[in-house]
Structure 1
Amino acid sequence: MSGVEFSIDRPFGIYLWDYFDQAFTAVLGKSANDFAFVEGETPFSTIPEVVVGCVTYLMVIFGGQYILRDSMPLRPKFIFQVHNLLLTLVSLAILLLLIEQLVPQLVRHGLYWTICSFDAWTQKHELLYYLNYLVKYWELIDTVFLVVKKKKLGGDEKERADGFKFLHVFHHSMTMVLCYTQLVGRTTVSWVPIVLNLTVHVLMYYYYFRTASGAKIWWKKYLTTMQIIQFVIDLFVIYSCTYTFYANKYALQLPNFGTCSGGEGAAWFGCAILSSYLVLFINFYRMTYNANKNKKNAAAAAAAATVKKSKKI
């Protein structure tokens, strides 16, 4: 391995994949360059495994809530900190490795080729997408922490708490399914939602790590804003790819950029799930921050009324 040398192929000055390959080989005894995702052979590569994962997740969550219904909340602070720190670092590592692979493609071939060409789906991309998919199983532990801590969204409004619970459980389980469908469908555009999701998750898990240590982080509100922006960008890109695929295949008289690589079923599932995420996160934002704003305004009005009343006395 050579020293620091910035180039199109080395956007970070060093080739991170070489270091990753060394670590991968040390842990698994084979090179990362030899990996191939094969349905039925690669772990967690079949529909039954995904279904069992989702069912187990739901059983643990709702079963845990029932079992712990009369117990005091647990505070596994240290384990929670380690969990979030590791997810921050793992998400960052996958993100940087993906960027390293994408920069040469984007510079040499352009955006359309990188999101739609079959050749843009490389062996290295496939391994990183698979690792991102496996991380989604790990992230299911987030909800376990909520269960043992008996965590609810701030405030007493049952609607907000229930809305948060549904969003959290639905988002975690369906994202795992979404990653599986795109991996099997070999949708080249997968890197767009994955890169954006990893970027948000690096900040999100860092936020959880810091707040678990007692730090006060002022930008919590902007995490939800980032997630909403993420889904807007995702949908714009994915719907564009879906449109150009169908226009090129069935209606050549319509303007299009050409065909786009990936399974049709995977594309439609991705559109549906990401659309639902956008709606749910906007609703979550509305319920949470608008409710907090109204609460602050009501408190300020009450304080002003008290001052006014005291002056009269």
Structure 2
Amino acid sequence: MSFLIRTPADQIKPYFSEAAQTHYTQLFQHFPILERTYFPFEKNFHAEPFVNFAKATWPALPLALCTLYALMIVVGSRVMKNRERFDWRGPLAYWNLCLSLFSFCGMLRTVPHLLNNITTLSFRETVCTSAAKAYGEGACGLWVMLFIFSKIPELVDTVFIVFRKSKLQFLHWYHHITVLLFCWHSYATESSTGLYFVAMNYSVHAIMYGYYYLMAIKAWPKWIPAHLITVAQISQMVVGTSLCVASYYYKKDGLACAVEWENVTSGALMYGSYLYLFTEFFVRRFLYPAKSKAKTL
């Protein structure tokens, strides 16, 4: 099991980021056998131009995107009010498949990197070490960047709901808007907690969109109970809220932590609201569905 052999830390020559003026190491440096699985463009990725773009366009561009998104919902719903729904089952299936595969690839790059950090650093270091040094450069940094800006095309999820005249839940559009804003701000401020959020979201989305794909092609995945998807989402919100609380206490105690107060508080509010909304959805959908139906009659 040679893939488990870890290179001693004193034998690793870290990469150096000119932009961030800091050294960083990549997962394949710890486990050399993995290097053959990385593309050169991944290994040589530098985040500086993308971080600078996020900084230069915050908050104007993400707010503009969210405004256009909200207008699409309002106008699209009115346009479709007296029209027949579009089926679009085929495009929806392939859309979900693409998002599932994208998320799976992102999971393969970010989760192992996070696990390596967890096993080699203290918990505070994994929460508070600067993004440039801990995860923001190289292969992991590339997939973090792709995650951040993937929140824009993910808004297409709602286009399918509106034009197929499916029920649009508050949780759906609220989640899309707040995630886009929070992710953009986190990347612009190079939040130290970002890798946790990215790795969790990639993992949950790989399963969730894969499930939606199977549903769209009517290959009912009975071996994946629907409630497990929501349980995974709730678990993600519990961890996300806990990380925000942890970073709050580290900063409050005067310890060095490379995450801004604004990001900590907005993250706590966002994940806390998600935790409530997803839990409420779980109770209404799976525990007491009869009562929910009765209220709508």
State the TM-score bracket (shorter-chain normalisation): 0.7 to 0.9
**Residue number in structure 2 paired with 1:174:** 178
Q: Could you list the runs of 5+ residues in structure 1 that have no partner in the other structure?
A: 25-30, 153-163, 250-257, 297-313
Task: Give the partner amino acid of 2:169.
Answer: K
Structure 1 295/235 Cα, relative in aligned 2: closer, same or farther at 3 Å? closer
Structure 1 265/294 Cα, relative in aligned 2: closer, same or farther at 3 Å? closer
On the 8 A contact 1:207/1:217 being kept in 2, the answer is yes
Q: Give structure 1 regions of 4+ aligned residues with deviation exceeding 6 angstroms.
A: none
Residues in 1 aligned to 2:237 and 2:54: alpha-carbon distance in whole angstroms? 29
Residues in 1 aligned to 2:50 and 2:166: alpha-carbon distance in whole angstroms? 39
Structure 1 127/45 Cα, relative in aligned 2: closer, same or farther at 3 Å? farther
Instruction: Specify which structure has the bigger relative contact order, considering alpha-carbon pairs within 8 angstroms and separated by 6 or more residues.
Output: 2
On the 8 A contact 2:47/2:136 being kept in 1, the answer is no
Residues in 1 aligned to 2:49 and 2:271: alpha-carbon distance in whole angstroms? 24
**Residue number in structure 2 paired with 1:147:** 162
On the 8 A contact 1:57/1:140 being kept in 2, the answer is yes
* Structure 2 SS opposite 1:14: helix
On the 8 A contact 2:284/2:292 being kept in 1, the answer is no
**Farther-moved stretch of structure 1 (141-150 vs 127-136):** 127-136
Cα RMSD after superposing both structures: 2.6
Residues in 2 aligned to 1:139 and 1:51: alpha-carbon distance in whole angstroms? 16
Q: Shift of residue 172 of structure 1?
A: 0.8
Deviation string for 1:226-250 (max 9, x for gaps)? Answer: 1111111111122012112112x2x
Aligned residues: 265
Residues in 2 aligned to 1:133 and 1:268: alpha-carbon distance in whole angstroms? 19
Task: Give the partner amino acid of 1:18.
Answer: Y
Structure 1 16/184 Cα, relative in aligned 2: closer, same or farther at 3 Å? farther
Sequence identity, in percent? 21
| 1:122 lines up with 2:130 in the alignment | no
> Structure 1 length normalisation: TM-score?
0.76
**Residue number in structure 1 paired with 2:118:** 106
Q: Shift of residue 137 of structure 1?
A: 0.9
Residues in 2 aligned to 1:96 and 1:16: alpha-carbon distance in whole angstroms? 14
Residues in 1 aligned to 2:219 and 2:38: alpha-carbon distance in whole angstroms? 36
| 1:217 lines up with 2:221 in the alignment | yes
On the 8 A contact 1:143/1:169 being kept in 2, the answer is yes
* Structure 1 SS opposite 2:83: coil
* Structure 1 SS opposite 2:151: helix
**Residue number in structure 2 paired with 1:207:** 211
| 1:59 lines up with 2:82 in the alignment | no
